[in-house]
């Protein structure tokens, strides 16, 4: 038994639902108790699908248990067949039905349906959602894929399938569009995308393409490996997440197909230049923590380190199936991978590491919020806002652009927050000041009164970490480790504080107001550490020298 | 409007309304929540209670999907996920449960009441949670009391989880030694509604206890002198348990809308001997205020045709409210379960000939709904967007359970929940 307050993944039958819902003419008959229909609303609310997922539940109740739940299942399957007329049917059990041991596969066989019926064995007490999706897609391929005709007509351009995208996938919709465009530009036609928007007839044709593109190994890898074993169909190993990985992906595709490699990146590849522009210098060495599914974590670590210039201080995944890949990845950054589905462990690690940016799931977003750390979402599970209306791929060059903006925004906002905290002392930004565009309505008394007194005497209310050096107006590395630690325990010194000499106070007034609070605090801290009772101009500059190391 | 509404079948409502209705009873796929979902609002109510579901990953996933962001505020609910070792008998399930409960209570020393909540898996494997609760009680006595109930889908539908939870608390309520009649209001109400009701009863000179209480250390007393009003329609087992402690039910419609609230208050006032002028004085102002606020909503909703899918058992009282006070026409009123006795006063007020359905075969009901082409459909989130995509305006039902809707001050808010989707459709169409 495991105590759980939060789970990163649902049960495996939800994975099967993701595959069934992704496809166009498959129906899933699920032996499940009343209440398991809750999973429908993941699709209708989070992904905002305008249709019901193609799932019929037997919804048995206690009074049915004494009777014939098997008959109930057969009725449900028969009725689903008559009503929805699917091209193939998935049958299986949810966790409770697994315990009552009816055999959906055998029962469905007894109905002698005229369509392919795929029986799913999804061990609910050992496996989880992604495994369920992967297994379902693999079983569908095994049951449906036809051997291609020996004398298939020659094609003008090489073709591939895209494997892995599903319903409820994080940005799957737009990733497919982006990678399809990329492949088309290279000269490759996409034959079938599966399971997303694929029909049974599409899946039957999978073996006819020249190779497979595995976009999401969590869901598509098992099927791709099977297709390789059965039909010698190669598959791509690189997931095109990030500019570098996208280039590697292009090389891989060109090697597989013998097509020429494009000479340069497309004109929309902005992320690379943005990261190089001087505005991004302050991103250098930012300490980042990464958690999510294996594919997105491994990719994010590479982007963070090589494309953004961050320092990866910790990473982990809830995907146990891909633990080895994530451990290998962690080694490259000199950290230990955290493989867990317990969010409390993730929280503990984040607490210990105190990163400056967290890249994770919606769970990490809430951990980050609690701890006041900037955060961006890179992986499922996600909430409704991460199924956006706008075009927002993660993969390919446009994906790299999206990632750059998404990751930097919380940091910019973090910086803004600190600056506003400092500006609070300024006459134009104090709490009582009206916004500048309402200047004419500003009460005359208020904008004068607190101005002069405030900067010198009022302590800074919020932690000020943005600027390490008191005199340099725009230093580059604004949020270093030690500056974070320096502000960790600021307030305690209040009782035995050193007094400021009038000259030092005056000198402090010369420092730009947006770093003045920081300078004051650092100086006082220094004075206290050194046992200085009166702060002189000398002390001020000693402190500056001390902290600017 | 008369403040006295005939509430007993034997007086005048013998043949009126839907009293003798034969509901359309259907069996088939049911698109409903299980009783575990009740935890979402129950844990907000009882502030020192923890709800530990003993179930599968599916149960944990359900609660987190339903709880949305609430899960992050160090929630007072969790799941002990049964794994293959428990099923294979490799681990002693009871020892495992001891371990998990120990771990939990060590983490949350502020918890004084722990519910072990049964689920479909725990019931199918016949895990005896009542025995487990007894044992935990011995281990953690006196700091923590441990109770158990079932919120499984095979036993309970959505709000019935609250019924099972409250019923589990009743045997432990302190016995009342008084003989003078005392009033108890049963069913979870939002704190703001509870405070309003308390002040209304105060003005009538009545002392009232609410059950469940906000804190497990303040359980109301119960005994033969207890008269209880049901604030919620889904409390069949709780009522039975209270009855067995000698308490007497005050039949009344449910406090939804002006009429429902007045009749509900009146039932208590009559039983406890409040003078009519005192009652009038206590209720006149809020009643008029609510009627005025409702009149605005009525303009929007008058004559609109409404269809209720089954969800919470609130459907019949809601249908009565929207029909009588907002002038809406009832196409179909679905309920997961029809308790005739508790619903008697409501049924008497329903327009005769209303199509009432009990249980569900969701595909057939959707066929009926689409054929009827109602103006507004009250349904769960699994159906709402798919119906909207077909051009049918919906009001998602869960909001009616999570929002304060009872009493005078909320009557217009409740009406607003129905008018908003229609208003929105008009705005976006323009």
Average pLDDT over residues B269-279: 96
Higher pLDDT, A445 or B30: B30
Comparing CB atoms, the residue among A6, A51, A370 nearest residue B389 is A51
Interface touch B62/A38, C-beta < 8 Å: yes
Is A166 within 8 Å of A237 (Cβ atoms)? Answer: no
Identify the residue among A1, A62, A371 best suited for mutation to test binding to B, counting B beta carbons within 10 A and taking the highest: A1
pLDDT given for residue A549 in this prediction: 58
B51, β-bridge pairs:
B77, B115
CA gap B416, B295 in Å, rounded:
11
pTM > 0.90: yes or no: no
Residue B11 has pLDDT above 50, yes or no: no
Q: Nearest C-alpha of chain B: how many angstroms from A364? A: 10
Residue B174 has pLDDT above 70, yes or no: yes
Interface touch A2/B81, C-beta < 8 Å: yes
pLDDT given for residue A449 in this prediction: 39
pLDDT given for residue A435 in this prediction: 57
Task: Judge whether B241 is closer than 8 Å to chain A, CB to CB.
Answer: no
pLDDT given for residue A433 in this prediction: 63
| For chain B, percent of residues with pLDDT exceeding 90 | 86
Q: Which residue has the tokens 């500048």?
A: A436
Residues with Cβ within 8 Å of residue B193, at least 6 apart in sequence = B404, B406, B407, B410
Handedness of CA B278, B283, B285, B291 (dihedral sign): negative
Identify the residue among A5, A370, A381 best suited for mutation to test binding to B, counting B beta carbons within 10 A and taking the highest: A5
pLDDT given for residue A496 in this prediction: 63
Instruction: Provide the 3-class DSSP secondary structure of residue A393.
Output: coil
Is A196 within 8 Å of A169 (Cβ atoms)? Answer: yes
Q: Nearest C-alpha of chain B: how many angstroms from A206? A: 31
Closest residue in chain A to residue B72, using alpha carbons only: A366
pLDDT tens column, B323-339? 999 999 999 999 999 99
Comparing CB atoms, the residue among A11, A49, A51 nearest residue B56 is A11
CB pairs under 8 A between A and B: 178
Q: Catalytic annotation on A279? A: yes
B24, β-bridge pairs:
B357
Comparing CB atoms, the residue among A41, A96, A370 nearest residue B121 is A96
Cα separations (Å) of A332 from A301, A305, A313, A316? 10, 10, 11, 13
B389, with CB counted inside 10 A (0-12, 13-18, 19+), is: middle
- Planar angle of CA B56, B59, B60, nearest 5 degrees: 95
CA gap B396, B421 in Å, rounded:
10
Token pair belonging to A414: 């973090």
CA gap A528, A525 in Å, rounded:
5
Profile chain A (549 residues) by mean pLDDT over runs of 10 residues: 91 98 98 95 94 96 85 95 97 94 92 96 96 98 92 85 97 98 97 97 96 97 98 97 97 96 93 92 92 98 97 96 96 96 92 94 91 93 94 98 96 71 65 58 44 37 39 40 40 61 86 74 88 88 79
Residues with Cβ within 8 Å of residue A118, at least 6 apart in sequence = A88, A89, A90, A91, A136, A139, A140, A143, A144
Residues with Cβ within 8 Å of residue B388, at least 6 apart in sequence = A50, B394
Average pLDDT, chain B: 92
Closest residue in chain A to residue B57, using alpha carbons only: A11
Residues with Cβ within 8 Å of residue A338, at least 6 apart in sequence = A291, A314, A315, A316, A317, A345, A346, A349
Residue B289 has pLDDT above 60, yes or no: yes
pLDDT tens column, B137-158? 999 999 999 999 999 999 999 9
pLDDT given for residue A437 in this prediction: 59
Closest residue in chain B to residue A75, using alpha carbons only: B28
Q: Kindly report the length of chain A.
A: 549
Which of A75, A174, A210, A279 is an active site residue? Answer: A279
3-class SS string, A433-483: CCCHHHHHHCCCCCCCCCCCHHHHHCCCCCCCCCCCCCCCCCCCCCCCHHH
CA gap A326, A291 in Å, rounded:
10
Quote the ipTM score.
0.92
Helix (H) or strand (E) holding B308: strand B305-308
Residues with Cβ within 8 Å of residue B91, at least 6 apart in sequence = A1, B85
User: Of all residues in chain A, what percent are helix, strand and coil, respectively (each to 5)?
Assistant: 50, 10, 40
CA gap A122, A279 in Å, rounded:
50
pLDDT given for residue A451 in this prediction: 37
Q: Which of A548, A504, A498 is nearest to A527 (CA)?
A: A498
Interface touch A14/B61, C-beta < 8 Å: yes
CA gap A133, A122 in Å, rounded:
10
Higher pLDDT, B136 or A443: B136
Cα separations (Å) of B426 from B412, B415, B421, B429, B430? 20, 17, 9, 5, 6
Average pLDDT over residues B246-258: 97
Q: For residue B142, say if its preceding peptide bond is cis, omega within 30 degrees of 0.
A: yes
Interface touch A125/B83, C-beta < 8 Å: yes
DSSP state of B217: G
């Amino acid at each position: 038994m495991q105590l759980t307050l939060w789970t990163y993944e649902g049960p495996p039958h939800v994975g099967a639902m993701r595959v069934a819902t992704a496809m166009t003419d498959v129906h899933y008959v699920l032996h499940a108790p009343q209440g398991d229909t809750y999973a429908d609303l993941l699709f209708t609310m989070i992904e905002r699908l305008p249709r019901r997922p193609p799932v019929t539940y037997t919804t048995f109740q206690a009074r049915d248990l004494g009777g014939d739940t098997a008959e109930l299942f057969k009725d449900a399957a028969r009725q689903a067949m008559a009503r929805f007329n699917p091209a193939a049917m998935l049958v299986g059990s949810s966790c409770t039905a697994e315990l009552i041991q009816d055999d959906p596969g055998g029962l469905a066989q007894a109905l002698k349906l005229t369509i392919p019926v795929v029986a799913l064995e999804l061990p609910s007490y050992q496996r989880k959602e992604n495994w369920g999706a992967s297994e379902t897609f693999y079983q569908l391929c095994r049951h449906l894929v036809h051997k291609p005709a020996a004398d298939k007509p020659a094609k003008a351009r090489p073709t591939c399938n895209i494997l892995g995208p599903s319903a409820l996938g994080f940005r799957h919709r737009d990733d497919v569009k982006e990678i399809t465009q990329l492949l088309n530009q290279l000269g490759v036609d996409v034959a079938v995308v599966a399971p997303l928007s694929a029909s049974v007839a599409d899946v039957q044709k999978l073996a006819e393409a020249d190779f497979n593109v595995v976009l999401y190994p969590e869901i598509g890898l098992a099927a791709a490996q099977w297709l390789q074993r059965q039909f010698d169909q190669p598959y791509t190993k690189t997931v095109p997440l990030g500019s570098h990985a996208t280039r590697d992906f292009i090389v891989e595709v060109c090697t597989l197909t013998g097509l020429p490699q494009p000479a340069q990146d497309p004109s929309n590849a902005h992320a690379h230049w943005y990261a190089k522009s001087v505005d991004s210098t302050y991103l250098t060495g930012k300490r980042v923590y990464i958690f999510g599914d294996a594919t997105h974590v491994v990719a994010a670590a590479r982007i963070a380190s090589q494309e953004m210039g961050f320092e990866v201080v910790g990473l982990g995944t809830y995907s146990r199936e891909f633990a080895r890949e994530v451990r290998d990845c962690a080694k490259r950054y000199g950290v230990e991978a955290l493989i867990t589905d317990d969010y409390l462990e993730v929280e503990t690690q984040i607490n210990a590491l105190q990163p400056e940016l967290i890249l994770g799931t919606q769970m990490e977003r809430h951990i980050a919020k609690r701890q006041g750390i900037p955060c961006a979402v890179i992986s499922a599970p996600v909430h409704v806002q991460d199924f956006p209306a706008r075009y927002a791929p993660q993969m390919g060059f446009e994906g790299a652009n999206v990632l750059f903006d998404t990751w930097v925004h919380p940091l910019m906002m973090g910086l803004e927050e600190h600056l506003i905290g400092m500006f609070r002392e300024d006459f134009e930004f104090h709490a009582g000041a009206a916004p500048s565009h309402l200047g004419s309505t500003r009460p005359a008394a208020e904008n004068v009164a607190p101005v002069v007194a405030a900067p010198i005497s009022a302590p800074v209310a919020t932690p000020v970490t943005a600027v390490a050096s008191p005199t340099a107006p725009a230093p580059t590395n604004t949020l270093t480790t030690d500056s974070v630690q320096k502000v960790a325990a600021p307030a305690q010194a209040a009782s035995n504080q050193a007094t400021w000499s009038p000259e030092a106070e005056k000198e402090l007034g010369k420092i730009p107001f947006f770093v003045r609070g920081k300078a004051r605090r650092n100086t006082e801290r220094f004075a206290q550490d050194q046992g200085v009772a009166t702060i002189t101009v000398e002390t001020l500059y000693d402190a500056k020298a001390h902290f600017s190391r | 409007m008369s403040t006295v509404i005939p509430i007993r079948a034997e007086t005048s409502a013998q043949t009126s309304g839907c009293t003798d209705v034969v509901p359309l009873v259907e069996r088939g796929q049911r698109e409903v929540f299980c009783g575990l979902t009740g935890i979402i609002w129950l844990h907000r109510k009882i502030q020192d209670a923890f709800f530990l579901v003993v179930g599968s990953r599916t149960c944990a996933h359900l609660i987190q999907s339903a709880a949305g962001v609430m899960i992050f505020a160090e929630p007072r609910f969790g799941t002990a996920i049964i794994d293959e070792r428990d099923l294979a008998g490799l681990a002693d399930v009871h020892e495992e449960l001891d371990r998990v409960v120990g771990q939990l209570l060590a983490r949350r020393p502020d918890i004084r009441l722990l519910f072990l909540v049964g689920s479909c898996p725990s019931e199918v494997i016949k895990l005896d949670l009542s025995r487990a609760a007894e044992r935990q009680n011995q281990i953690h006595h006196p700091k923590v009391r441990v109770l158990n109930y079932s919120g499984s889908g095979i036993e309970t539908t959505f709000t019935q989880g609250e019924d099972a939870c409250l019923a589990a608390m009743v045997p432990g309520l302190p016995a009342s030694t008084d003989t003078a009649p005392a009033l108890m209001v049963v069913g979870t109400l939002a704190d703001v509604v509870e405070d309003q009701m308390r002040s209304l009863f105060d003005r009538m000179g009545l002392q009232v206890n609410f059950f469940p209480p906000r804190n497990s250390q303040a359980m109301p007393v119960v005994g033969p002198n207890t008269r209880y009003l049901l604030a919620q329609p889904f409390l069949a087992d709780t009522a039975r348990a209270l009855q067995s402690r000698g308490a007497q039910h005050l039949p009344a419609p449910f406090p939804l809308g002006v009429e429902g609230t007045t009749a509900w208050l009146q039932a208590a006032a009559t039983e406890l001997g409040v003078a009519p002028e005192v009652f009038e004085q206590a209720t006149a102002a809020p009643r008029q205020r609510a009627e005025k606020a409702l009149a605005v909503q009525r303009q929007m909703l008058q004559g609109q045709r409404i269809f209720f899918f089954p969800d919470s058992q609130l459907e019949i009282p809601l249908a009565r409210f929207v029909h009588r006070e907002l002038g809406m026409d009832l196409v179909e009123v679905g309920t997961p379960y029809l308790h005739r006795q508790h619903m008697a006063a409501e049924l008497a007020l329903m327009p005769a000939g209303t199509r009432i359905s009990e249980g569900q075969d969701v595909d057939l009901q959707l066929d009926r709904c689409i054929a009827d082409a109602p103006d507004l459909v009250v349904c769960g989130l699994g159906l709402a967007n798919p119906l909207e995509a077909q051009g049918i305006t919906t009001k998602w039902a869960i909001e009616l359970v999570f929002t304060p809707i009872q009493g005078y001050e909320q009557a217009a808010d409740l009406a607003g929940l129905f008018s908003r989707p229609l208003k929105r459709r008009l705005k976006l169409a323009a």
